[in-house]
Chain A
Amino acid sequence: MGILDVKGVNKRFGGLQALGDVNLSIAENSVHAIIGPNGAGKSTLLNCLVGKLIPDTGSVMFDGKSVLGRSPHEINQMGISRVFQTPEIFGDLTVMENMLIPCFAKRDGSFEMNAIGSVMKQTDVIEKAEAMLVDMNMADKRHMNAASMSRGDKRRLEIGMCLSQEPRLLLLDEPTAGMARADTNNTIDLLKQISDERDITIAIIEHDMHVVFSLAQRITVLAQGTPLVEDTPDNIKGHPKVREAYLGESA
């Protein structure tokens, strides 16, 4: 039993079998990577975990509870946070406000009608958001408009927002896509640091093998909607089936 257990999940879009009998177990406090060529069903699988899609059959259990049929905000409140391929942040708000919102969500739940008190008087939430900004090394940017930051900073802000909810499982969808090498390495270091310092499980979908092999403890290879193999990074590197799926080597 891992923290997340996916059993027999199928998802079909019309004639396309996007996911075929996916079984996956992610161990608590590990870093688990899901890799696979384009169209392997990685994003579909991720969407099934966060409530954006509902699988046709199968079960997805998080910490012993089913997530199926719950809406994204409910699943998030259970302890699963998601980082998107293109950073999803509140672009019109300041960096500080971006950080405050998940802190409020953590403290008050999915809806709280606090329309009279000033944000400035919620000292516990403000302190927490400040601390997270310092952790993310962006305290000097707190009054900036979030949309005006660089791609790498937006990514760091998004990760920080997810972390301030103290999730038990952090899902990352190609977190370094479209990043320069330096930004990619910074992100790798940040994720390493997060996984070392915090009581958190990380599941990462990634294209970039450099990222995968420097972070993951377990790797699942997905091809045509089905898991091919699951193993440690060292074993995956030389695995013939993986080479075949990626490079089309049949010999």
Chain B
Amino acid sequence: MFGLEKKDARLLLLVLALTMFAPFILNPFPEGSGWAQFNAGYPDLMQRFVIFGIFAIGFNILFGLTGYLSFGHAAFLGVGSYSAVWMFKLLSMNVLPAIALAVVTAGIFALIIGYVSLRRSGIYFSILTLAFAQMSFALAYSVLTPITGGETGLQLALDDPRILDGAAHAAGNIPVPGLFGLEMRDSAELVLGAWVFTFNIGYYFSAFVMLASFYLAIRIFRSPFGMMLRAIKSNQQRLNYTGLNPRPYTLAAFVISGMYAGLAGGLMASMDPLAGAERMFWTASGEVVLMTILGGVGTLIGPVLGAGMIKYMENILSKINSDILHTWFAFLPDGLENLLVTLVYPFIGKGWHLTLGILFMLVVIFLPGGLVEGGQRIAKLFGRKKAKDTDGGADAANSTTPAE
């Protein structure tokens, strides 16, 4: 199907189902119940899931396949956001030209930065990309204020030209990004008993873009180009002496992943039309590294899972405060309740980074293949049981491939 192997097509269908039904899946708890704060099915967060999913998928094409660890990918995300906002200001509030420009600009930036950085490999490559990203951040934050809006960020204004939209928005409010009349922030709500499900246009638009990105990533993984990238990670010396030039391969991978980051940045601006320099800060570059490693480096679905996991914790865990903890443990005697609250408190609210750090450590130590490896181990556990039952699990062991 779609020119994919059976297994990859199944994975794509799974992701399709997950993204399409996300408003249901992420809202398992009824509105107003004590658990409702764990619901993640609100538009803002769902958009973030898929947008950071795109960012991580692209990052994984570089890091997962070639092994080149870029510490500056947030720069491309930021460049994409700025480009998109400028397109909203100058041309039209339609998201398509904005996203197109975001991808192209990020691609050009990646070409320049990649050309220079890829002269070195290993830690020196990482440091070079980090230096470039921090320079971009500094430029955006101060020197280039006329273009980037500096500290306040780049925002839309009522008197922006918007050549194509012209008089359509003369009415006094700043228009919002949309797709041929569909406004990105519009939502429909479905109330089923105590449950409320929100279907947001911006989310579904982003989800379709993510599906397309995911599909493209599968094609790249399974192509001769993808195989060469894995060969670069495995043994660059042999590749050289096999008549292949690693430089254009790594540069192409760098540009592709930069364009993915630009796409994510453009989408981010399309959901909320402003762009700030903090999107290019080095912690943002580090975050996508964490997402990829947490989910599973070099796997197809891993980066998406990692992005979802981190964004969920960032948005849900950080909202829990001590009052909520007290209500949870209220059934206990007072002394014990206070003790438990004191013990758990550092891991929630602003302390969610601590939980993330511990989780990250556990994954790296016990599951070097990330969440995907965890899933495979669980599947194997069940597979083995099944094999014992049917007494014919010989091919189960052979069907494991390096890139799930």
Contact = CB atoms under 8 A, between A and B. Distances in A.
Nearest to B253: A115
Nearest to B240: A72
Contacts of B223: 114-119
A84 B5 CA distance: 36
Interface string B207-223: 00000000000011011
A213 interface: no
Given A111-B245, A115-B219, A115-B225, A90 B235 contact: yes
A101 interface: yes
A76 B241 contact: yes
Given A114-B224, A114-B225, A119-B227, A77 B241 contact: no
A76 B243 contact: yes
A73 B224 contact: no
A131 interface: no
Interface stretch (A18-26, A102-110, A194-202): A102-110
B402 interface: yes
A88 B5 contact: no
Contacts of B4: 118
A230 B235 CA distance: 36
Contact of B224 (A50, A84, A92, A112): A112
A81 interface: yes
Interface residues of A toward B: which range?
A: 35 or more
A40 interface: no
B326 interface: no
B242 interface: yes
A101 B227 contact: yes
A101 B219 contact: no
B220 A115 contact: yes
B166 interface: no
B398 interface: yes
B3 interface: yes
Interface string A157-178: 0000100010000000000000
Contacts of A69: none
A108 B225 CA distance: 11
B169 interface: no
Nearest to A171: B241
Contact of B242 (A91, A111, A112, A165): A165
A101 B231 contact: yes
Contacts of A104: 224, 227-228
Q: Main SS of chain B's interface residues? A: helix
Interface residues of B, number: 32
A88 B398 contact: no
B308 to A, nearest CB: 26
Interface in A186-232: none
A145 B403 CA distance: 13
B226 interface: yes
Given A77-B243, A115-B225, A93 B238 contact: no
Given A81-B241, A92-B402, A143-B398, A111 B224 contact: no
A6 interface: no
Contacts of B249: 111
Given A101-B228, A120-B222, A88 B244 contact: no
B227 to A, nearest CB: 6
B233 interface: yes
A73 B245 contact: yes
A108 B220 CA distance: 17
Contacts of B220: 115-116
B230 interface: yes
A50 B227 contact: no
B3 A118 contact: yes
A145 B234 CA distance: 12
Of residues A89, A91, A105, which shows the largest number of chain B Cβ atoms within 10 Å of its Cβ?
Answer: A105
A71 B245 CA distance: 9
Interface in A87-143: 88-94, 97, 100-102, 104-106, 108-120, 122, 143
Of residues B3, B235, B244, B398, which shows the largest number of chain A Cβ atoms within 10 Å of its Cβ?
Answer: B244
B156 interface: no
B393 interface: no
B225 A113 contact: yes
Interface string A140-154: 000101000000000
A82 B230 CA distance: 21
B224 to A, nearest CB: 5
B242 A161 contact: yes
A117 B216 CA distance: 11
A145 B230 CA distance: 13
A25 to B, nearest CB: 23
B252 interface: yes
B230 A93 contact: yes
Contacts of B402: 92-94, 145
Interface string B242-261: 11110011001000100000
B356 interface: no
Given A111-B248, A143-B398, A72 B241 contact: yes
A144 B260 CA distance: 33
A76 B243 CA distance: 5
A122 B224 contact: yes
Contacts of A119: 222-224, 226-227
A105 B242 contact: yes
B237 interface: yes
Interface of A: 50, 71-74, 76-77, 81-82, 84, 88-94, 97, 100-102, 104-106, 108-120, 122, 143, 145, 161, 165
6 contacts: A77-B243, A93-B402, A102-B242, A104-B227, A118-B5, A119-B223
Interface of B: 3-5, 219-220, 222-228, 230-231, 233-235, 237-245, 248-249, 252, 256, 398, 402
Given A112-B224, A112-B225, 4 more contacts: A84-B237, A90-B231, A100-B227, A119-B227
